[in-house]
Amino acid sequence: MAHQSSTLTTNLTRQGQANAAGDARALYLKLFSGEMFKGFENNAIARDLVMKRTLKNGKSLQFIYTGRTTAEYHTPGNAILGNGDGAPPVAEKTITVDDLLISSAFVYELDETLAHYELRGEISKKIGYALAEKYDRLIFRAVTRGARSASPITKTNFVEPGGTQVRVGASTNESDAYSATALVDSFYDAAAAMDEKGISQDGRCGVLNPRQYYALIQQVGENGLINRDEQGSARQSGQGIIEIAGIKIFKSMNIPFLGKYGTKYGGTSGVTDPGNTGDFIGVATENASGATAGINNDYGTTAELGAKSCGLIFQKEAAAVVETIGPQVQVTSGDVSVVYQGDVILGRLAMGADYLNPAAAVELYVGATAPSAF
């Protein structure tokens, strides 16, 4: 009986083997799980938090500022021909559209035929993520610039309020940026400053990095200062569910943060590098001086942004984005596909961003000295 069992085992046909030898599973298909790791993937949030305008048949869009005027007593018999001080003063701000921003990939038809998973959908998503990331980063840089700027209205005795910078914590350590207590205090300072500068309560928001956001929500039950109506996954989503002083809080890895994007490890930040963090947190040089081709607005250099910025609080009028071509995906076809035996998948957009009303922008920073204007 034992001899018969041994014979059956020897004669067994293993359909997964190559030429009846080697690994018994070598020829079996490695099934696609339906999941592809998306790497540095964040949803774009800035587009809905600032003013957005569509531009057609032009290269830039003009925004008009109107300052305040005064009230005066009428002298009987005098003609009323407008205030003697010439108020209200008027100024302008022009936002120019940057060059066409693109992200693309070529899909070879044979590769697509041989692949057992759907290539185009995943490639299209990655292209969308690349454009969304750039979109958010430029807008947040514009808000940062606004928080450090004076008002365009500079008429003597009629100067309008400018941007605000609020220090987080009392030490010179970068770790203050993660202190829940210090952040809550900063939010109330920012809210008071915007109230004092006449900024509407409507559309106020704050954007922090993930570790700051999680530090806050862990304190929800203790400090009582954050909206506790939402719990569980809703509160942890980072999509403006919780608020402090009427300021809705979002989290993003695309804000300028201690000289990087989103986070910084080591130094006095108190954050240990988790390892294998990739190449997407460095701050690029993007300004209008020719340092980056295609940039027509001043988004600041790494040096200008500085190493102390650690969060943004703003109202929707703080910045504006001008679009001539909204985010789109294009795919080649027809004769082009025949000639190259494949298709180019292209994502594109044409936009520009800049600060609008600096009084509506607040920058959080750590350290003894506020970052300089640029």
Residue boundaries of the structural domains of the chain: 46-365
What's residue 328's pLDDT? 81
Question: Which residue, among 222, 247, 221, 251, has the nearest Cα to 236 in the 3D structure?
Answer: 251
What's residue 35's pLDDT? 36
- How far is the C-alpha of 66 from the C-alpha of 48, rounded, in Å? 25
Q: Does residue 228 surpass a pLDDT of 70? A: no
Q: How many CB atoms lie within 10 A of CB 222?
A: 10
Q: Does residue 124 surpass a pLDDT of 90? A: no
With b for 16 or more beta-carbon neighbours within 10 A and e for fewer, the 329-356 pattern comes to beebeeeeeeeeebbebbbbbbbbbbbb
What's residue 116's pLDDT? 65
Question: Which residue, among 373, 368, 367, 331, has the nearest Cα to 348 in the 3D structure?
Answer: 331
Q: Give the pLDDT mean for 30-49.
A: 57
Mean pLDDT: which of 61-75, 119-133, 210-224, 250-264 is highest?
250-264
Question: Which residue, among 254, 236, 350, has the nearest Cα to 305 in the 3D structure?
Answer: 254
Average pLDDT for the chain: 84
Instruction: Quickly list DSSP for 306-338.
Output: -S-EEEEEEEGGGEEEEEEEEEEEEE--THHHH
Q: Which two structure tokens, joined as six digits, stand for 303?
A: 């040096």
Q: Does residue 171 surpass a pLDDT of 80? A: yes
What pTM did the predictor assign? 0.83
Instruction: Quickly list DSSP for 207-232.
Output: EE-HHHHHHHHTTHHHH--S--S--H
- How far is the C-alpha of 374 from the C-alpha of 291, rounded, in Å? 15
The answer for 208, left when phi > 0, alpha when psi is -120 to 50, beta otherwise, is: beta
**Which comes out higher in pLDDT, residue 9 or 46?**
46
Q: Which two structure tokens, joined as six digits, stand for 120?
A: 């185009």
CA dihedral over 22, 24, 27, 30, signed as positive or negative: negative
Q: Does residue 220 surpass a pLDDT of 70? A: no
What's residue 37's pLDDT? 36
pLDDT digits (tens, 9 = 90+) for 259-274: 999 889 988 988 998 8
What's residue 279's pLDDT? 79
Do 280 and 292 touch, CB atoms closer than 8 A? no
What's residue 345's pLDDT? 85
Percent of the chain with pLDDT over 90: 44
